[in-house]
Structure 1
């Protein structure tokens, strides 16, 4: 989920809706998505969430009430959100942002499946993760 593909839709408008906890993004192809902050947070492209390779992902829980406290541009290709739980290392280029919006149903289903497989509740507090200190988090 990295990079900006040639010819891919680019955002024409980005609006943070704090009360409803969604990021509304209008793209150049006419598509408009309302992406819940929780979805953005649990699928953050950061190493803290995604790990450093396949199978190293950290299942995110307890993010239902997370808020977006800041959204900074990164050049002309991405935005970097800061969430109310302190997470601020995920940079969302336009392609993954479009994917979050266009594939919400599939992403929610995959998340619910991972929760079920792990035997944890969506609202459970995050488990402490120890023994990892790569400096990228």
Structure 2
């Protein structure tokens, strides 16, 4: 049986440095960059509907969060300044983003290099029909 997910005790949006500071009841405190949250958003727009369908996010270095809403007792839903607002960030995901930041950044930079783009490459224009409605 796995240990229960640590619960947040504090959430602070730092707009100037573009980080979400999250304190957890196990004593951990993480400063998660908005860019990292945006490129690892759990939404279908970013993750796709199955393995291998992920959309590499670029041009998100300066993304901000205009608002963040609590969803029940298990997640927050940020509204990013690029219009993305469909990702639900559970406490477990925020803990993972915070505790595995170095590895996640490394994986992201590797994916960028493999695609021949940089963090600052603009996202390609969307084409219609990428996501069927359910």
Higher-RCO chain (CA-CA 8 Å, sequence separation at least 6): 1
How big is each residue's C-alpha offset from its partner over 1:24-55, in whole Å with a ceiling of 9 and x where there is no partner? 00001000000000000000000000000000
Gap regions ≥5 residues in structure 2: none
Q: For residue 90 of structure 1, report the CA deviation from its aligned partner.
A: 0.1
Q: TM-score, normalising length from structure 2?
A: 0.94
Aligned equivalents of 1:46 and 1:63: distance in 2? 16
Q: TM-score, normalising length from structure 1?
A: 0.92
Gap regions ≥5 residues in structure 1: none
Aligned to 1:89: 86
Question: Is 2:45–2:131's contact at 8 Å kept on the other side of the alignment?
Answer: no
Give the counterpart of 1:37 among 34, 39, 48.
34
Aligned to 1:17: 14
Aligned equivalents of 1:133 and 1:55: distance in 2? 15
Structure 1 runs of 4+ aligned residues shifted over 2 Å read: 128-131
Alignment RMSD, CA only? 1.3
Q: For residue 6 of structure 1, report the CA deviation from its aligned partner.
A: 5.8
Aligned to 1:62: 59
Aligned equivalents of 1:6 and 1:110: distance in 2? 26
Aligned to 1:75: 72
Aligned equivalents of 1:40 and 1:29: distance in 2? 21
Aligned equivalents of 1:103 and 1:133: distance in 2? 29
Q: Number of residue pairs matched?
A: 132
Q: For residue 8 of structure 1, report the CA deviation from its aligned partner.
A: 1.3
Aligned equivalents of 2:38 and 2:44: distance in 1? 13
